[in-house]
Structure 1
Amino acid sequence: MKKLFKNYNYTFDKNEIKILKTFCKQSLKQIEGDNRFYSEVRSFTSILKKLESDDEIIKLTKDESTKLKNQLKQNHQYLKKEVAKSWFVKKMFYRSMVNQYSNILEKHFEM
């Protein structure tokens, strides 16, 4: 039976919060100036504010949760492609980022 309501409360550890903060800041830098991405900018600034607060449980809206999940998935897929193309040192950095993103997606967003 399918759930009627989904809980969008997340408890991230310190490392996950740090990774997600960096991810949100990078996303905002890329899309901030473009008016076509107004809803994404609004969602990511809201997510960033919630991550920067010292709350133990982070409550996201459905829209914020889906946008964060989709962006993380896209970035995860892009990094997987880059790992296949890159050389040794770059591959080490990308591989650790791929592992971190996949852990967050599996643990919190049921990839």
Structure 2
Amino acid sequence: MMKIHTEDYGQFKVLKVAGKVDILTSSEIRAKLAEVARARISVLVVDLDKVVYMDSSGLATFLEGLKSMKEYGGVLRLVNVPERIDKVLKLMKLDQVFEVYESVEDAAKGK
């Protein structure tokens, strides 16, 4: 089971994801990311702290979200990436595609 919660901080939004991000749940995330893109949010911080599993469809969903946001000048930043997911990002060289930060505060500032 996966849970998604959005927090609005005015200048940026935080999308908190918990549980499994896989082929069965990625459509729900895709819908949230599309909503953010339609609203032209400039900075979306995706907090993965509570994610216990992510498959390739989950990674693809976040890549699609990143692409959609870049099309209008927005950015998608990842925070609190669990070690096992971070290893996959590095193995696939996606750490060079995504901006990854240690905290929501750092991600919001882009530092």
Bigger share in strand: 2
Fold-level match, TM-score > 0.5?
no
Who wins on radius of gyration, i.e. which is larger? Answer: 1
TM-score by length of structure 1 reads 0.31
TM-score by length of 2: 0.31
